[in-house]
């Protein structure tokens, strides 16, 4: 079993943890192919079986985009906030290392998107895992957006912007904007409005087989943000197109924790207000 070790060395303990793993993996019978704690390597030609990512969901999102069209299964080790993607905490990783080296884990595949931005003769393409946000930027006037699905113009938005999210992304920004939780394996996107003046709008859950185009009709300042990490300025009449990517993000699950359990642990999803002395809690 060949391992990549990725992460952000600026975060506390990441360098130290990487070195510890680099010693322990061979001892457990595995092989460390590459350590990159600065997101600087081109991973498209690196052959490995597992990418150990140190540092929470943000680090995993970054690793996923770094691997680009050559996705290696990710085992995330959580240092950060809200670990929906990171399966293990730092103290769980060593006890589980043997299992991973011996291939005793489940592999889950997840929808990724590609996002094209066209306009002014330019054309850019991005890959992502969580969401595409088209939003107002300073001076923060309303953006006016039109949404087309498979070529049909379906809706108009006035407000802070809209989010096209995958199921993985549905518990991140889209949730904060009022979107539903999507079970992680569904082949769907959700389109959620941010602070919209369109009072009749409700989030739309629609097929990942369709193509979603958002045109910026007019603006005093707008941008696209991908996975909360890449920011691209957007001008009037530019169009952002989102569709399912051909590649899939892959996660390694070693524990028995289910998605619903994670929802309860991380979001307090569906837990009841505080009671004194009641039988429910």
Using CB under 8 A, which residues numbered 108 to 167 contact a second copy?
133, 135, 137-141, 144, 147, 149, 152, 154-160
List the catalytic residues: 57
Q: Which is nearer to a second copy, 121 or 273 (CB)?
A: 273
The reply to whether 13 sits in an annotated binding site is no
Question: At its nearest, how many Å lie between a second copy and the CB of residue 170?
Answer: 8
Kindly state the smallest distance separating residue 70's Cβ from a second copy, in Å.
Answer: 27
Interaction between residue 168 and a second copy (CB under 8 A): no
- Interface with a second copy: number of residues (CB under 8 A): 77
Give dist(CA 42, CA 28) in Å, integer.
Answer: 27
131 annotated as a binding-site residue:
yes
Based on the shown chain and the rule CB under 8 A, indicate whether residue 180 belongs to the binding site for a second copy: yes
Residue 70 vs 221, nearer CB to a second copy: 221
C-beta of 42 vs 89, nearer to a second copy: 89
Provide the token pair at 60.
């995993």
Measured between alpha carbons, how far is 122 from 126 in angstroms, rounded to an integer? 13
C-alpha distances (whole Å) from 160 to each of 164, 200, 229, 230 are 14, 15, 18, 18
33 binds a second copy (CB under 8 A): no
One of 30, 76, 83, 128 touching a second copy (CB under 8 A)? 83
| 168 annotated ligand binder | yes
Q: Where does residue 8 fall: left (phi above 0), alpha (psi -120 to 50 degrees), or beta otherwise?
A: beta
Pairwise CA distance, residues 5 & 17, whole Å: 10
Contact positions with a second copy (CB under 8 A) in 209-268: 217, 223, 225, 228, 231, 258, 260, 263-268
Q: State the nearest-atom distance from the C-beta of 122 to a second copy, in Å.
A: 20
Query: C-beta of 218: minimal distance to a second copy in Å?
Result: 9
Closest C-alpha to 65, from 212, 249, 213, 243: 249
Nearer of residues 4 and 165 to a second copy, judged by Cβ:
165
Start-to-end Cα distance in the chain: 44
Strand 212-218 with 239-253, pairing: antiparallel
Give the number of C-alpha atoms closer than 13 A to the C-alpha of residue 195, restricted to the C-beta side: 11
| Minimum distance of a second copy from residue 20's CB (angstroms) | 17
229 known member of a binding site:
yes
State the SS3 of 42-56.
CCCCCCCCEEEEECH
> Checking DSSP bridges between strand 106-119 and strand 239-253, what pairing results, if any?
antiparallel
Residues at the annotated binding site for NAD(+)? 57-58, 62, 130-131, 141, 160, 168, 229
Residues at the annotated binding site? 57-58, 62, 130-131, 141, 160, 168, 229
């Amino acid at each position: 079993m060949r391992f990549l070790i990725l992460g952000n060395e600026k975060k506390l303990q990441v360098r130290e943890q990487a070195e510890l793993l680099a010693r322990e993996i061979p001892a457990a019978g595995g092989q460390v192919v590459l350590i990159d704690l600065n997101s600087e390597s081109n991973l498209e030609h690196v052959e490995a079986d597992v990418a150990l990512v140190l540092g929470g969901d943000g680090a995993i999102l970054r690793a996923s985009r770094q691997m680009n069209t050559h996705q290696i299964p990710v085992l995330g080790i959580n240092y950060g906030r809200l670990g929906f993607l990171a399966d293990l905490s730092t103290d769980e990783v060593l006890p589980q290392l043997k299992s991973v080296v011996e291939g005793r884990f489940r592999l889950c595949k997840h929808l990724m998107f590609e996002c094209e931005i066209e306009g002014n003769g330019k054309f850019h393409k991005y890959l992502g895992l969580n969401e595409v946000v088209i939003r107002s930027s300073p001076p923060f006037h309303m953006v006016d957006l039109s949404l087309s699905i498979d070529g049909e113009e379906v809706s108009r938005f006035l407000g802070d912007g809209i989010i096209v999210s995958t199921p993985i992304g549905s518990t991140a920004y889209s949730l904060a904007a009022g979107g539903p939780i999507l079970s992680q394996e569904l082949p769907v996107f959700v389109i959620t409005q941010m602070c919209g003046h369109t009072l009749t709008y409700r989030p739309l859950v629609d097929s990942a087989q369709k193509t979603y185009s958002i045109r910026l009709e007019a603006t005093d300042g707008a941008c696209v943000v991908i996975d909360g990490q890449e920011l691209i300025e957007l001008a009037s009449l530019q169009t952002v197109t989102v569709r399912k990517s051909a590649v899939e993000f892959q996660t390694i699950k070693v524990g028995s924790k289910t998605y619903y359990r994670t929802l309860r642990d991380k979001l307090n999803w569906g837990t009841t207000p505080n009671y004194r002395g009641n039988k429910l809690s």
